[in-house]
Homo-oligomer: A and B are copies of this chain.
Amino acid sequence: MTPMTPGAPAPKGSAPKGQRPARTTATRQKLFDASMALIGERGAANVTVDEIAAAAGVSKGTVYYNFGSKSELIAQLLRHGVDILKARLLGTAEDGTAGPKTTGPGTTRDPLLAMEAMIGQAMDFMAEYPSFARLWVSENWRTPSEWQGTFTVLRGELLAVIGQAVESVAKAYPVDESVSRGSLETAIFGACFVVGLDRQTYNPERTRDQSVAAIMAIMRGYVLKPAAPQE
């Protein structure tokens, strides 16, 4: 479901004309789904290519035909997941809501509400693709990693989206300038992953909104006078 296939249509020698990957797209999606589930559960190093192929219902050769190596499969899996996450985050940025708690028809565009909607989207993503979140936290921060470059790029893309939202807040409200913008974005970024994963793993009884509220505390602490918190 939700086929996306980012930027690499042809596996090896690319056909110069238009894209004809009719079967290929389906095969890749199946491989993404299967490897996402397995790798998220047991870790990249503890899952074999044979298992992934079996779970996807294709043969081992197909994996190597499409991706060339286990390492490359995982790299593209990371890109794939980030594309989905980015699309969701940006989707909310367009109208500031997209959540179930719309404040009203005319009250959109408030940066703090947009921020809240975005974090809500992040929580939903973590709930829907917990395996991706686990893969991310497992392999990000590994210093000489095979996916070092991949992570640097993808992390930058995601932080840019968050940075945009923080920027909007900083323009609309007086904020605590003594807090470094970068550290703040990192804290929010990390908190989304960790709170989302913790909810999934240790505290399934926690609601989505509780998690969002906890992360939003960061923003309320960043903004100087939060205009009397709905008391």
A interface with B by C-beta (< 8 Å): 41-43, 45-46, 133-134, 137-144, 152, 155, 176, 178-180, 182-184, 186-187, 189-191, 193-195, 197-198, 200-203, 206, 210-211, 213-222, 224, 226, 229, 231
Q: For the A-B complex with A179-B217, A187-B217 known, give 15 more contacts whose Cβ atoms are closer than 8 Å.
A: A41-B143, A42-B142, A42-B144, A134-B141, A137-B137, A137-B138, A138-B139, A141-B197, A141-B198, A141-B200, A183-B214, A184-B217, A219-B221, A220-B220, A221-B226
Contact of A198 among B41, B46, B190 (CB under 8 A): B190
**Chain B: minimal CB distance from A54 (Å):** 18
Among A42, A43, A183, the one with the most B-chain Cβ atoms within 10 Å of its Cβ is: A183
**Chain B: minimal CB distance from A227 (Å):** 13
Chain A contact residues, majority secondary structure: helix
Residues of B within 8 A of A222 (CB): 217, 221
Residues of B within 8 A of A186 (CB): 194-195, 198, 203, 214
With contact pairs A41-B143, A142-B42 given, residues A194 and B187 touching in the complex (Cβ less than 8 Å): yes
Contact of A221 among B152, B197, B216 (CB under 8 A): B216
Among A138, A194, A210, A213, the one with the most B-chain Cβ atoms within 10 Å of its Cβ is: A194
